[in-house]
């Protein structure tokens, strides 16, 4: 069991994130003693999506306009179709993600989450997986796409779907532990 005590993790979401792809990593990170913040452009709460309908609302810990990526050691990008599609159009969100890419901080993205990495220029040359509908987008952006439950390429962990969450969480926590402990 990895202990992420003292490690600050950002989970970046917009309304419409796939709820389990945010809550499962959130709980796994908190169980590993990480300091986790939900960050969003929304004002007070952000709302999840569960398969085909709206789900629960969650309080935002830090509004994106007030979030400093230097304050965080790692980043989680949940999927859902609406969430990354909205984030891709949000310049502040792309700048926030780009900081993690530029400064080589670990990133974990699941389902449609890797979509945002195209705009943040963090996918070229990486071996990744994702929800199959964005496979061609990732390939066209220069990634090598594979169909596996979890893929780790240096400081990037990706998974395909909610069924992959146990493997995603395990690999995400291992990567965050290795990389962030080395830099603290």
- Residue 52's φ and ψ, nearest 5 degrees, are -130, 10
Q: Tell me, what's the pLDDT at 184? A: 44
Class of domain 8-183: alpha beta
User: Active-site positions?
Assistant: 111-112
Q: Tell me, what's the pLDDT at 51? A: 84
The predicted model scores a pTM of 0.96
Q: Tell me, what's the pLDDT at 101? A: 98
Please give the Cα distance from 60 to 143 (Å, whole number): 32
List all residues 6 or more positions away from 106 whose beta carbon is below 8 Å from its beta carbon.
73, 74, 75, 100, 155, 156, 157, 175, 176, 179, 180
Positions in the chain short of pLDDT 50: 184
């Amino acid at each position: 069991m990895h202990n992420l005590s003292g490690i600050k993790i950002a989970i970046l979401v917009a309304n419409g994130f796939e709820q389990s792809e945010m809550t499962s990593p959130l709980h796994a990170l908190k169980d590993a003693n990480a300091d986790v913040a939900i960050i969003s452009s929304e004002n007070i709460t952000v709302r999840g999506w569960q398969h085909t309908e709206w789900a629960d609302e969650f309080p935002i810990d830090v509004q994106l306009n007030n979030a400093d990526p230097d304050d965080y050691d790692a980043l989680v990008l949940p999927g859902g179709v609406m969430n990354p599609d909205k984030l891709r159009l949000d310049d502040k969100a792309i700048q926030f993600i780009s900081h993690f890419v530029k400064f080589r901080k670990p990133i974990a993205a699941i389902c449609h989450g890797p979509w945002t990495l195209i705009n943040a220029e963090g996918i070229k040359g990486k071996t990744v997986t994702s929800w199959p509908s964005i496979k061609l987008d990732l390939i066209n952006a220069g990634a090598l796409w594979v169909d596996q439950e979890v893929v780790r390429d240096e400081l990037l962990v990706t998974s395909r779907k909610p069924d992959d969450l146990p493997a995603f969480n395990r690999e995400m926590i291992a990567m965050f532990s290795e990389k962030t402990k080395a830099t603290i």
